[in-house]
Amino acid sequence: MHIFYSERHIRRDAKTELSNGRLVAPYECPARATLILDRLRQARLGEIFAPREFGLAPALRVHDADYVAFLESAWREWTAAGHEGEAIPMVWPTNRDRARRPEAIGGKLGYYALAADTSFTEGSWEAAQAAAQVALSGADALAQGGRAAFALCRPPGHHAARDLFGGYCFLNNAAIAARFLRDHGAARCAVLDVDFHHGNGTQDIFYHSGDVLFASLHGDPRQAFPYFSGYADETGAGAGEGANANYPLPRGAGWTDYEAALSDALKRIADFGADALVVSLGVDAFAGDPISFFTLGSADFTRMGERIGALRLPTLFVLEGGYAVAEIGINVVNALTGFQQ
Ligand code: SP5
Ligand code: ZN
């Protein structure tokens, strides 16, 4: 398996996350990636490569240009306004359809945010760009005929929509990779999202597309972030009708519940006739995850990987969430090892 990694992820090193009414140390922290890297090396899963540079054009295939320009200038604008803390969105348009974009950074933050859990900081944009290059390098490895790749990237991406950041995400790495695969030979691409949280951003980006199937297993949105999407009746629209599949699962769901949903999702992917598969690999379905409510054990990630591998599709794994930092390495390595069996 080709593994891609950039140490530029450490530029995303926020000091604050607004969580349950307090400012806490962010769950999505640099140690996550370095611990996974250590474990991958120990497990000798494959050679680790620095990313190639693809520039911003592939990201602009799924994100709006004005949003990308906002990400590029947000920190500069925040400091120019004289603020000293990290930039946290605080006010949202109640009707996004007719909202005009404010000029002041305090307004722009809410205009382009889906949640207040993601402080914008110096270096966040640099790290987000590096993460997208890591994902693109993995997609490129598949486009060149590779069977499997792992993009060890952070910040994660699956909550980021065309023009929204939040849920610790800025650029949607998995969506950018899927779009790249479509642009480089794959007639149909599937995205399987096994992160505990619904991949609302990826769903939104491909909701009207019939050539990219999105399937996601996640905590029931009635109970779990991001709350406003992930219901089973969200099945796609227009040309994308039938190409979106959500599997909301209840509090306490373990491998038995999970496997039933996974089997159905995998069958959907096989029937779809995808030429390539992108897996949004979050490991926050783990029982010990501090912000999630499933009960998978470390060995269940091996089973998950095995089941995904049985599809026999060219597969790119893109790292998403997973906040039980002590076990994050073993859980990711188990998923990838299971896939290779
Ligand atoms: C990529 C990813 O996994 N993003 C997740 C972002 C979740 N951020 C908000 C979490 C709110 C969780 N509230 C439950 C706290 C339990 N103590
Ligand atoms: Zn997550």
Using alpha carbons, list the distances in angstroms from residue 248 to 50, 194, 321. Answer: 36, 11, 17
Give the residue, by CA position, lying nearest to ligand 1 atom 7: 167
> Which ligand neighbours the alpha carbon of 32 most closely?
1
- What's phi and psi for 280, nearest 5 deg? -80, 100
Question: 91-132 pLDDT, tens per residue?
Answer: 999 998 899 999 999 999 999 999 999 999 999 999 999 999
Task: Provide, for the chain, the percentages of residues in helix, strand and coil under a 3-state DSSP scheme, each rounded to the nearest 5.
Answer: 40, 15, 45
Cβ neighbours around 61 below 10 Å, total: 15
> In this predicted structure, what is the pLDDT of residue 292?
98
Please indicate whether residue 284, judged by its CB atom, sits closer than 6 Å to ligand 1: yes
Q: What is the ipTM of this complex?
A: 0.96
Residue 67: pLDDT band by 50, 70, 90 thresholds? very high
Q: Which helix (H) or strand (E) holds 276?
A: strand 276-281
> In this predicted structure, what is the pLDDT of residue 340?
96
Distance (Å) from CA 252 to ligand 2 centroid: 16
**Could you tell me where the DSSP H helices lie in the chain?**
30-43, 65-80, 105-111, 124-143, 173-183, 200-206, 255-272, 298-309, 325-340
Give the residue, by CA position, lying nearest to ligand 1 atom 11: 225
Domain boundaries, the chain: 2-13+26-64+122-340
In the annotation, is 159 catalytic?
Answer: yes
Give the residue, by CA position, lying nearest to ligand 1 atom 3: 321
Q: Identify the CATH assignment for 2-13+26-64+122-340 out of 3.40.800.20, 1.10.510.10, 2.60.120.10, 3.50.50.60.
A: 3.40.800.20
Give the separation between CA 265 and CA 271, rounded to whole angstroms. Answer: 10
CB 199 within 8 A of CB 216: yes
Distance (Å) from CA 291 to ligand 1 centroid: 5
Please indicate whether residue 282, judged by its CB atom, sits closer than 6 Å to ligand 1: yes
